Structure 1
Amino acid sequence: MACRCSPLLLPLLGWSALLLAPMLLVQFANAAIFVDDRGVQHTWDESTKARVAVRAGIGAVSLYHMGMREEQLAATWGLWGVRGSDFDPENPSQGSIYPEADPSPEEAAFLASAVNLSPSCWKNPRGCFQWDDTAEVLGMRDEIDFIVNIDNGSAEDSYNAAEEAGMNVIFIDTFYEYNENCRASNYSIIDTSFCYGRSMIDVAQRIEELAVFLGVEVDQNSLNQQKQAACDAAQAFTETMKDLHDKGIRVKVSIVDTELRDDTGVTTASVADFDPIELWVPRTLEELGMPLLHAASYENNEYGYIYSDEYFPDCTPGFVNDTCNGNTYFPVDFWLIDSRSFILIDDNFKLIFPDRAMLAGQYWSYPRNDGSISYVMIESLLNEYRTRLGSAVKLQDSTGTCTPADPKATAHLVADGTGGLGLNEFICYDEAAIQQEYLQCPTVAPVPPVSTPTSPTPPTANPPVPTSPNTSASSDAIMVSTITSIAAAAVTAFLMFCSTSG
């Protein structure tokens, strides 16, 4: 049988292979890899701006701080502000009760440029954590390169459905460092003994890495200015925390609530008891020296809820008042209450929960699993807390001593119930144990001085010879050579096939 391979194909094959080599080189050179916090590997041409769908307040605003702009934001879902806020996304210029945590008008305009995937709940102050209709998301698949899930692994069914339909989902874990034994690819927890808590700097750095991967035009000097401001805020904050330790002040992170008790028929207040290692804002504060009171252990790592009668043991049950409020379940001098329940604290609340710190106005809010996680937010929160805590005074007659511990240690941050400290224990202030990631200020390029232009220096007759090869050019040449060799090998194989056909 005659050879079926026409000789006319040889020039076409050879030239096609040689023309393809530079194209392959360009694609290879621009290819970037991002491994998310499920261990899933994503690839993208970072010279191209990826379009994303992302949860609004926690994700999109964080990416905005890193440099993302409207052309990359295809869609958002969820709240724009933090839970409990009176922030109005349709009138952002009026501000809110949480200006340190809610979006600015510029950030709100960025969010408004995208499709809103959760119109049913995007203004519900109680929370909004997922899009309304997965079919709508799937209908935008040609407009969305990546769904970005910056969260704690909740609402996993929605993300799994999108992924099963072929959409790319990138996960950044706001709770735990990546460990293959901690979280499965479907977001479920495998083994909490391998789950170690993250603080804000850990998450912000991951989001910065993601922004670069997505092709965001990161203004490095502007970003360094953000980091410098966060660094300055952290330094001032940790110095204030040392003063708090010297004063003997204790801080408790909690959630408050009220309810009508069925057993007594009396409206009572309650405060939640949980360990500060469970949330990224308290973890941040403790890593920078805040004297945070830790919690008791509860079944299945659930929160404990302490009611007024139990909280004030010297008061007669049902008759809690400020004449018997000296002895308390927690020796608190300053409260940090989550933004959702913070709005419950008013004069009526203080009547049924007459804690000395509450009566003295020594309390403020914190975003609980809410708000952006960026260098901008780190600066904003630390400055706010430093100002409010800086004037605090000791109110309780607590005499407990601190516990020497490293707030950054995995044994302290592990989520299996063995981490943290015991009830009402707190970590000693130790400058050597402060999280240095917050204090490593970047080099910010100085503003060039205005000067009289000078004539350019003429080139030298004998320009210097490089002492080492250009790594990038050398690598490109190697890749071109490799791809060309592969093309030549393909031609050779083609000829061998033709010679043996018959």
Structure 2
Amino acid sequence: MACRCSPLLLPLRGWSALLLAPMLIVQFANAAIFVDDRGVQHTWDESTKARVAVRAGIGAVSLYHMGMREEQLAATWGLWGVRGSDFDPENPSQGSIYPEADPSPEEAAFLASAVNLSPSCWKNPRGCFQWDDTAEVLGMRDEIDFIVNIDNGSAEDSYNAAEEAGMNVIFIDTFYDYNENCRASNYSIIDTSFCYGRSMLDIAQRIEELAVFLGVEVDQNSLNQQKQAACDAAQAFTETMKELHDKGIRVKVSIVDTELRDDTGVTTAYVADFDPIELWVPRTLEELGMPLLHAASYENNEYGYIYSDEYFPDCTPGFVNDTCNGNTYFPVDFWLIDSRSFILIDDNFKLIFPDRAMLAGQYWSYPRNDGSISYVMIESLLNEYRTRLGSAVKLQDSTGTCTPADPKATAHLVADGTGGLGLNEFICYDEAAIQQEYLQCPTVAPVPPVSTPTSPTPPTANPPVPTSPTTSASSDAILVSTITSIAAAAVTAFLMFCSTSE
């Protein structure tokens, strides 16, 4: 029986067949799938650089750290720096009060290369979380392959509108690990008992996976150097945290503010009480051993607000001062205050809230649901906190003992109100419970010598455990080349067979 070839294949001979086979194979080999944190599946040819729209400070800068450059950044929205900062996106070289968290001039130049979708609020230090005009976003649909939503599920109406109009929206959850019973595809929470908090490393790894999917030219050795620096910072940080435990120091994460009381006409101060498992920065710090004080339980998982009179029970109501500040609602030796309210702490604030740690200057800021989430940021924050906490001294007369618990356990991280610990409890320092992923340094290629090389250093007895390697571009190329050669030969042989059989 004679072989019948497709009319599309009959004209192909020799080099034509060799050209067709690679096209078919490469298209198949480069097809990639990314399942986002709503469970939505996205496909893309990762050999092509996708163009994206993404929230500026939290998303675009994170992707920049992974290797994304201007040709892939179509548009941004939101703040460039963290909330409360004096960072000026139009003059980034002047720096800011939060250099450890705000963009560098190079990162700011990257953001400036894209369309600004939120000109109404992009410099508002109180916050800017969505674009101004959905119609403008939809008008850019031919320039945007993916809208990237790296956030906690807020501003969902804007993303839903873009998705309903046919745009592709990728969601990376900064609050919870993916669980089909935790969050619905419209970003709403289904059941908090299936929602488990993420730390910074969890989120950074997801963003790295996303960068690869989007076709970012990831320099693996450069990225490994970032991971090595973060790993070194984590090791030094956790050693300092052990020293804090030995000193008996307690740390409280909070928000501060003032209020004019209607009943007395007097301005008073208050601090917020919430559990550190609710935010990714405190979760990271606790996983690495920080003695963080936990919160009381409040209705509907809301925050509690503790006013000065309640905070200093030994003071006469309305007459809070430093002569009666020994007994406090929280036995705090060092405060971490969110970047928005940190700037409120001045001499006047300390008069109406004379906490010993604040009077001693033992407080610093943290980005609350703000800033990039990458290996670069992990290193920056851990080094900053290690330096500031390393010189802290115990100020309160607290005698409470620690609670043995695993800060990584789902029972501790669950968001249904049963996670965390009780009021003023904190986790014991336990080397076995430290999040080891932060301490697993990757293999970094050696820097080429610029002079006569020295003898190599003998390997250590217990070298660091490398992270799972990402398939390199060179190995992909070898694989594709091999498959292409086989396929091309097969196509050519098939065509030759057809030509002799007709």
> TM-score normalised to the size of structure 1?
0.88
Distance 1:70 1:487, change over 3 A: closer
Is the 2:146–2:169 Cα contact (8 Å) retained in structure 1? yes
> Structure 1: how far apart are the matches of 2:472 and 2:77?
41
CA contact (8 A) 1:14 1:488 kept: no
Residues 1:364 and 1:15: Cα distance change in structure 2 (over 3 Å): closer
Contact persistence 2:230–2:438 (CA under 8 A): yes
* Closer, same or farther: CA 400–159 of 1 in aligned 2, 3 Å: same
Q: Cα offset for 1:148?
A: 0.5
How much has 1:97 moved relative to structure 2?
Answer: 0.4
- Change in Cα spacing, 1:451 to 1:345, as seen in structure 2 (3 Å) is closer
Contact preservation (8 Å) 1:10, 1:491: no
Q: Greater CA deviation, 140-149 or 481-490?
A: 481-490
8 Å Cα contact 1:17-1:484 kept in structure 2:
no
Q: CA deviation at 1:464?
A: 34
The whole-number CA distance in structure 2 between the counterparts of 1:285 and 1:190 is 28
Distance, in Å, in 2 between the alignment partners of 1:314 and 1:462 is: 54
Q: Return the alpha-carbon distance in structure 2 between the equivalents of residues 83 and 487 of structure 1.
A: 55
Question: Which ranges in structure 2 are unaligned for 5 or more consecutive residues?
Answer: none
- 1:264 deviates by 1.8
Change (3 A) 1:109 1:9: closer
1:489/1:22 Cα in 2 relative to 1: closer, same or farther (>3 Å)?
A: closer
Q: Could you tell me whether the CA contact under 8 Å between 1:49 and 1:216 is conserved in 2?
A: yes
In 2 relative to 1, CA 7–65 (structure 1 residues): closer, same or farther, beyond 3 Å? closer
Give the superposition deviation at 1:23: 3.1
Structure 1 residue 79, shift from structure 2 partner: 0.1
Name the SS of the counterpart of 1:9 in structure 2: coil
Cα distance change on mapping 1:150 and 1:450 into 2, 3 Å: same
SS at match of 2:13: helix
Give how far 1:463 is off: 35
Q: What's the CA shift for 1:448?
A: 2.3
Larger radius of gyration: 1
TM-aligned CA distance change 1:26 to 1:428, over 3 Å: same
Q: CA 1:216–1:315 in 2, change beyond 3 Å: closer, same or farther?
A: same
Which TM-score applies when normalising by structure 2? 0.88
- Deviation, 1:25, is 2.0
- Structure 1 residues 478 and 269: CA distance shift in structure 2, 3 A: closer
Residue 462 and residue 252 in structure 1: after superposition, are their counterparts in 2 closer, same or farther (change >3 A)?
closer
Contact 2:237–2:383 under 8 Å retained in 1: yes
Gaps of at least 5 residues in structure 1 are: none
Deviates most, 60-69 or 466-475: 466-475
Say which SS state the counterpart of residue 11 (structure 1) adopts.
coil
Alignment length (residue pairs)? 502
CA deviation string 1:226-266 (max 9, x = no partner): 11111110000000000000000000000001000112211
Query: Secondary structure of the equivalent of 1:249?
Result: coil
Partner SS for 1:417: coil
Q: Determine if contact 1:52/1:145 at 8 Å carries over to the other structure.
A: yes
Q: 1-side partners of 2:370 and 2:470: how far apart?
A: 46
Q: Could you give the per-residue CA deviations for residues 266-323 of structure 1, whole angstroms, max 9, x where no partner exists?
A: 1100000000000000000000000000000000000000000000001111010001
Q: Which residue of 1 aligns with 2:122?
A: 122
Which string of whole-angstrom CA distances, capped at 9 and with x for unpartnered residues, describes residues 330-363 of structure 1? 0000000000000110000001000000100000
Question: What is the percent sequence identity of the aligned residues?
Answer: 98
Q: CA 1:16/1:123 → structure 2, altered by over 3 Å: closer, same or farther? A: same
Any idea what the Cα deviations from partners look like across 1:112-162, whole Å, max 9, x if unmatched? 000000000000000000000000000001111110000000000000111
Q: CA deviation at 1:494?
A: 18
Query: Conserved in 2, the CA contact under 8 Å of 1:55 and 1:77?
Result: yes
Structure 1 residue 27: deviation in Å?
A: 1.0
The answer to whether the 8 Å contact 1:78/1:121 transfers is yes
Whether contact under 8 Å (1:270, 1:305) holds in the other structure is yes
Partner Cα separation in structure 2 for residue 323 and residue 298 of structure 1: 31
Shift of 1:36: 0.6
Bigger Cα displacement from structure 2, 477-486 vs 359-368:
477-486
**How far apart, in 2, do the equivalents of 1:464 and 1:320 lie?**
53
Which sits farther off after the overlay, 476-485 or 321-330?
476-485
